[in-house]
Amino acid sequence: MSMAHSLKRLPVVFLTFLVLNQLALTVPCAQSVSANEPSPEPPAEPLEALNLNRGYWRLIDSKGNFVLPLKFERPADITVSTITGAVWDSGHKYVEQFNFQIFNRRGEVLRSMGPFYRGCALDVGIESDGLISFSDKERFGFIAGDGRVIIPAVYEHVQGFREGLAAVRERGEWKIIDRTGRVVWRAEGKAARPNEYLLSTVIVGNQVFLAKQFTPDSPLQFCRWFDADEVLWKMESGNLETVWVSKDGKTRPTTDINCLSFSEDLATAERAGHWKYVNRDGQTVLAMPDNVTFASNFRGGVAVVRIDTRHDPVSPPALFGIAQPSQDRYGLIDKSGAYVVAPSFIGMDTENRSDLLWATLPNHMTGFINRKGAMIIPPTFDNAYGFYHGLANVFIENPAVRSARAQKVTPQAYELEVRALFAEALSKYIKLAPLRVSLSFVDSKQTRSLDRWCGEKPLRKAIEKSLQDMVLPDPPFELSQQYLTLEYSGSPGIGLVPAGVARDPFFLERQKVFTLQDRLRRADNSTTARRELLEELWNIFPSYADWNRAQAMYLQDLTFDYIYAKEYAKAEAMCLEAEKRMPGSASSILQTLHEKQNTRE
């Protein structure tokens, strides 16, 4: 397992200090400092504290059995014959106390290296061609499988060996060394011919590697070995996202691909939030639906996809702005786009490199499935990483922490209790007309609001009083400290439901209103179709919204249309209905109607 992938899921705080030399030159000092006096020492970095109730990581095999008695502070880095990780110690209080070690597969220590975690982890534990990179005082070298030092730790950065050669950086310069440490190529003094993207290809022995220059006069920076006739290189500037580079340095731009590798002759591509699979010519082979927010490479004929269900009408909304398990779901598709495993997991191994993929259930427990979706290793872990070379990292949470969390009021449990209290307090009003209410927390202050009421206006104050008189339980602390809103909708025959679900009385009506309004914008003013659309909108609005400007506009347009057509009875009935919805809304129109009727008589 690559340590790079470990660090992605376990962020480490890195602190840097800025030396304001220019400020010192421009701001006059009250007292000069002697040149012989030592410069002040920079402040010491604060120690990075650990959670004393933290759990630990262990290694399992493909049958789910623990291998080795070792526990680790972080996921261990797994290679063909070695394991690199910081051994767990309950007495550790700070990250600085970590002791990273390289073990063989029997658990025997090959090398102890201390807490090299600050930016150095990516260069340690790389195993290739029988040599393993190690750290000593923030420099790097290579050891053999028995722990013997083969190449001393003198380099600032190292990359793994490939066919007997490795890229290393020493004193800011990239070099290529062989297995004895002999320099066979160095970037210094090389007159490369960079292409228009300042990319160069360099031949070393029978290998070709890609180099980058940040300016035409800057030194070459090692990028990667060629593992095919062409490599896909991700650009860092301009509108061009990626470019193909061949071994002779020629480029072939492709502006659509967002990943750096192909698998099974397909790569994922994303443009403006839309995901698809493309071939090596950039042609779309498989387009993903709009609700797909991630797609992995195909391996073993399947790919991992993530769908966003927040806008799905059958999915519950976020509770207080906190993403709920149903909002992101993972599944497996085949190359036709059909689901092999339905999107039912809240987490999944997106690297898709092994026959066994970790998958997290809605109860947040993690196990391993095969590419057909069968659960091979039961979901008994609190977290996991994918299998590499036959082993996988799994996380075991501290039982005391798990027990304390189980006894604590969860956001889900709090939401259910709040919803029941809202339903009880508003039950008699919900039976009369649709309404929407909300509960918000801003700066720990609780606010309850009646956002919509589609019934008689005099009842609004009574509903608002019922909301304020409700006695609600105290929320979990982490909820009360956030800017959060929880909304509910209710209507006769449905009761109170979370806003945004399929049964929300405003949801379908909203879609109808938008559709009719769009048709109204395109309707011919001289046809009866426009009047029919206005009548339909007028009839829908009582179940969709409180009185608003749109209803006032429809009232005016329709009644004057009726009056112009001398359909006085329809105009009067509509005005009387409007007066029930909003007293005073039709008074001027009624006066005009009565004048017309008197004139007619």
Mind listing the pLDDT tens digit for each residue in 259-283?
657 788 888 887 767 888 988 777 8
Residue 142 CA from chain centroid, whole number: 37
Distance set, CA 440 to CA 214, 321, 421, 437, 460 (Å):
51, 10, 15, 10, 19
Query: In this model, does residue 72 exceed pLDDT 90?
Result: yes
- Which strands form 199-204's sheet, in the order they lie side by side? 199-204, 207-212, 221-225
Query: In this model, does residue 184 exceed pLDDT 80?
Result: yes
Rounded Cα distance between 194 and 103, Å, is 42
Query: In this model, does residue 195 exceed pLDDT 90?
Result: no
Digit-coded pLDDT (tens) for 403-429: 766 666 777 778 888 888 999 899 899
The residues facing 294 across adjacent strands are 306
- What confidence score (pLDDT) does residue 324 get? 47
Rounded Cα distance between 489 and 316, Å, is 13
The more confidently predicted of residues 18 and 393 is 393
Strands of 54-158, DSSP E: 56-60, 66-72, 77-78, 82-86, 100-104, 109-114, 127-128, 131-136, 139-143, 149-155, 157-158
- What confidence score (pLDDT) does residue 29 get? 32
Query: In this model, does residue 335 exceed pLDDT 80?
Result: yes
Lowest mean per-residue pLDDT among 132-141, 225-234, 468-477: 225-234
- What confidence score (pLDDT) does residue 477 get? 63
Digit-coded pLDDT (tens) for 43-56: 556 777 887 788 99
Digit-coded pLDDT (tens) for 297-310: 999 999 999 987 65
The more confidently predicted of residues 215 and 380 is 380
The more confidently predicted of residues 412 and 5 is 412
Alpha helices in 96-160 (DSSP H): none
Rounded Cα distance between 140 and 128, Å, is 15
Could you tell me the pLDDT band of residue 393, with boundaries at 50, 70 and 90? very high
Alpha helices in 379-410 (DSSP H): 399-407
**C-alpha dihedral, 84 to 85 to 89 to 93, nearest 10°:** 140
- What confidence score (pLDDT) does residue 34 get? 40
Rounded Cα distance between 422 and 416, Å, is 10
Global confidence as pTM: 0.59
Share of the chain above pLDDT 90, in %: 18
Rounded Cα distance between 499 and 488, Å, is 5
Instruction: Give CA angle at 367 (366, 371), nearest 5°.
Output: 125
Query: In this model, does residue 59 exceed pLDDT 80?
Result: yes
Rounded Cα distance between 88 and 187, Å, is 41
The more confidently predicted of residues 119 and 211 is 211
The residues facing 269 across adjacent strands are 257, 276
Task: Output the six-digit token pair for 176.
Answer: 């290529």
Rounded Cα distance between 84 and 89, Å, is 16
Lowest mean per-residue pLDDT among 147-161, 194-208, 349-363: 194-208
* Long-range contacts formed by 113-121: CB under 8 A, 24+ apart: 115/86, 117/12, 117/86, 118/12, 118/14, 119/14, 121/3, 121/6, 121/7, 121/77
Q: How many CB atoms lie within 10 A of CB 173?
A: 16
- What confidence score (pLDDT) does residue 356 get? 95
